[in-house]
Chains A and B, each alone.
Chain A
């Protein structure tokens, strides 16, 4: 049976609305108008133990809402959801004891406490056996290289150091599912790479199920075997990363720097996407026209300085996907 089962999950928020101006404010005293906003509509998916799922979508798409419902801190308006056979918001305490959560923009550690004291507090809060805690902590400290940070209060750490400590903190009680909500936000390149390696290892070696939301497509590329795209609260796409990539990467680019000003260039099997002075960017489908044929044809007909073949950027692809489905917040 699937570890996470989500069926027709919907969540709407009621927000207060009032007419503009003083008259509106006065009217609001007597009659409060509210407006319903659907943050999530009819989302269904299931996840097996040990999967690594990437959750992507533009701001306001419903990623965080989904994570909050799955982690038990938000109650959906309708729909069913079970994690390890439990309904998160109904059996909250039993549920949250088995999951780890890291929110990139929040901290779960105590601001004024040295990291090690926060860890010990978490040990007591999660009722982790002392010996087991010692082993888990030592391993995490080594893997995340946080030994020199343990005596420092959280507020004195850099963002990258903080995030490593947050991840260790989320894993001290050996959860079977780890939720990472934008864990790489604001991190430098080195920290991002280290974090990705760690998460990959954790998932492969220990079989921890990971659900990751991010805006950084390199996170998805490096980590996720399966991707769910969500937009305007709806599930737009649920597939393996490879198939998504192949589908949208069906198109490739050929960038040619010509030695002289060329007028209209017609190349069979390729269309012009952009031009900038003597540089022209062609788009072509590698399944129909081989790159070397194209290059040979162009080089024969023109004086060429440089030729490069390029993939469309994954960001560009996703952005196009969002626009295609009208997923971007209006």
Chain B
């Protein structure tokens, strides 16, 4: 098993350490995410002040927003820039010179990219929102601790599945870009990700008749499910359902990606030298 996975693990490691070097971008990201997090917290606090009972209490919604900011880079916002560049320059076929499965090569690259970027941003946002804010007058606006040890463990499982799900989606975006041959082709993804992952409005705040659909659509597993598990809004059987939904989508999207990539690559023509 280890020799089978060795090429992919090595690619993952190399790319991960490479991504960690982009520190300036990461600090800019932290500043942006903290700033937007604060604005969104203020908006929701104002919104909550005028309403009655809500499916999530204020502390949960605030924590949800901070989680969303901390793990923002984990979401599949765009296709892998390097693969997009390879498509534009016509280099994309040359990756086929390696004795590795192209799907898992792209998957390993996407995973390294998403996780490295998240590692750079999540820590500082956590320090600011969960450790510094409670010491100030804005205690109510701070990132709270998980609902319990079991919630914390389940959250780690669920967020790991988010990383896999996001990577599977990133590879799908890579495939779209490859098939259509322009990096801009993946732009449509952003709207779906934003809305259906719960980043704009937590999915629990949507009408109750839509809840089953919202939990089982593929984007919930990117953010909403792990976040709700974190503060205990999904626990027990519900948490199991959420994690099952994540696993089902990872498997389905990986299978879809493998089938599709095979088709796209088999009809790629590379002209000239």
Interface residues of A (CB under 8 A from B): 13-14, 39, 60, 63-64, 68, 71-75, 92-94, 96-97, 101, 103, 105-106, 108, 110, 112-113, 117, 120-121, 124-127, 181-182
Q: Which residues of B contact A94 (CB under 8 A)?
A: 99
How many interface residues does B have (CB within 8 Å)? Answer: 23
Q: Which residues of A contact B6 (CB under 8 A)?
A: 124, 127
Q: In the complex, are the beta carbons of B98 and A182 less than 8 A apart?
A: no
- Smallest distance from the beta carbon of A52 to chain B beta carbons, Å? 20
Q: Given the known A-B contacts A13-B269, A93-B99, A93-B101, are A103 and B94 also in contact in the complex, defined by CB atoms under 8 Å?
A: yes
Among residues of B, the one whose C-beta sits closest to the C-beta of A95 is B99
- Smallest distance from the beta carbon of A74 to chain B beta carbons, Å? 6
User: B91 at interface (Cβ–Cβ under 8 A)?
Assistant: yes
Q: In the complex, are the beta carbons of A75 and B11 less than 8 A apart?
A: no
Q: In the complex, are the beta carbons of A106 and B96 less than 8 A apart?
A: no
Residue from the list A74, A97, A108, A110 in contact with B269, Cβ < 8 A: A74
Among residues of A, the one whose C-beta sits closest to the C-beta of B98 is A125
Docked complex Cα distance between A32 and B180 (Å)? 16
Q: In the complex, are the beta carbons of A96 and B270 less than 8 A apart?
A: no
8 A-B interface contacts by CB (under 8 A):
A39-B271, A68-B270, A96-B97, A103-B273, A112-B18, A121-B14, A126-B7, A182-B273
Q: In the complex, are the beta carbons of A73 and B93 less than 8 A apart?
A: yes
- Smallest distance from the beta carbon of A22 to chain B beta carbons, Å? 22
Docked complex Cα distance between A13 and B272 (Å)? 11
List residues 225-273 of chain B with CB under 8 A from any CB of chain A: 266, 269-273
Docked complex Cα distance between A64 and B90 (Å)? 14
Q: In the complex, are the beta carbons of A64 and B10 less than 8 A apart?
A: no
Q: In the complex, are the beta carbons of B97 and A121 less than 8 A apart?
A: no
Q: In the complex, are the beta carbons of B266 and A73 less than 8 A apart?
A: no
Please give 18 more A-B residue pairs, beta carbons under 8 A apart, in addition to A120-B10, A126-B99. A14-B269, A39-B271, A64-B273, A68-B270, A73-B97, A74-B270, A92-B96, A93-B100, A94-B99, A96-B96, A97-B99, A103-B273, A106-B91, A106-B94, A117-B14, A125-B10, A127-B3, A181-B273
Q: Which residues of B contact A110 (CB under 8 A)?
A: 14
Q: Which residues of A contact B7 (CB under 8 A)?
A: 124-127
Docked complex Cα distance between A60 and B271 (Å)? 9
Q: Which residues of B contact A124 (CB under 8 A)?
A: 6-7, 9-11
Q: In the complex, are the beta carbons of A73 and B270 less than 8 A apart?
A: yes
Docked complex Cα distance between A240 and B99 (Å)? 33
Q: Which residues of B contact A117 (CB under 8 A)?
A: 14
Q: Which residues of B contact A121 (CB under 8 A)?
A: 10-11, 14
- Smallest distance from the beta carbon of A67 to chain B beta carbons, Å? 8
Docked complex Cα distance between A39 and B101 (Å)? 28
Q: Which residues of A contact B9 (CB under 8 A)?
A: 124
Q: Which residues of B contact A113 (CB under 8 A)?
A: 14, 18
Q: Which residues of B contact A75 (CB under 8 A)?
A: 266
- Smallest distance from the beta carbon of B91 to chain A beta carbons, Å? 6
Report the 3 A-B pairs with minimum CB-CB distance, sorted nearest first.
A124-B10, A97-B99, A64-B273
Docked complex Cα distance between A72 and B101 (Å)? 14
| Residue picked from B3, B7, B97, most chain A C-beta under 10 Å | B97
Q: In the complex, are the beta carbons of A125 and B273 less than 8 A apart?
A: no
Q: In the complex, are the beta carbons of A71 and B97 less than 8 A apart?
A: yes
Q: Which residues of B contact A74 (CB under 8 A)?
A: 93, 269-270
- Smallest distance from the beta carbon of A330 to chain B beta carbons, Å? 17
Q: Which residues of A contact B273 (CB under 8 A)?
A: 63-64, 103, 105, 181-182
Q: In the complex, are the beta carbons of A72 and B96 less than 8 A apart?
A: yes
Residue from the list B14, B94, B272 in contact with A108, Cβ < 8 A: B94
Docked complex Cα distance between A101 and B271 (Å)? 17
Q: Given the known A-B contacts A97-B99, A181-B273, are A73 and B14 also in contact in the complex, defined by CB atoms under 8 Å?
A: no
- Smallest distance from the beta carbon of B258 to chain A beta carbons, Å? 14
Q: Given the known A-B contacts A39-B271, A64-B273, are A73 and B11 also in contact in the complex, defined by CB atoms under 8 Å?
A: no
Q: In the complex, are the beta carbons of A108 and B99 less than 8 A apart?
A: no
Q: In the complex, are the beta carbons of A13 and B14 less than 8 A apart?
A: no
Among residues of B, the one whose C-beta sits closest to the C-beta of A15 is B271
Docked complex Cα distance between A181 and B272 (Å)? 12
Q: In the complex, are the beta carbons of B101 and A64 less than 8 A apart?
A: no
Q: In the complex, are the beta carbons of A125 and B14 less than 8 A apart?
A: no
Q: Which residues of A contact B101 (CB under 8 A)?
A: 93
Among residues of B, the one whose C-beta sits closest to the C-beta of A68 is B270
Residue from the list A14, A101, A125 in contact with B100, Cβ < 8 A: A125
Among residues of B, the one whose C-beta sits closest to the C-beta of A110 is B14
Q: Given the known A-B contacts A117-B14, A121-B14, A126-B99, are A13 and B271 also in contact in the complex, defined by CB atoms under 8 Å?
A: yes
Docked complex Cα distance between A74 and B266 (Å)? 8
Residues 1-25 of chain B: 1 if any A CB is under 8 Å from the residue's CB, otherwise 0?
Answer: 0010011011100100010000000
- Smallest distance from the beta carbon of B263 to chain A beta carbons, Å? 12
Q: Which residues of B contact A181 (CB under 8 A)?
A: 273
Residues 80-110 of chain B: 1 if any A CB is under 8 Å from the residue's CB, otherwise 0?
Answer: 0000000000010110111111000000000
Q: Which residues of B contact A60 (CB under 8 A)?
A: 272
| Residue picked from A68, A97, A113, most chain B C-beta under 10 Å | A68
Residue from the list A63, A73, A97, A103 in contact with B96, Cβ < 8 A: A73
- Smallest distance from the beta carbon of A146 to chain B beta carbons, Å? 20
Docked complex Cα distance between A94 and B101 (Å)? 11
Q: Which residues of B contact A39 (CB under 8 A)?
A: 271
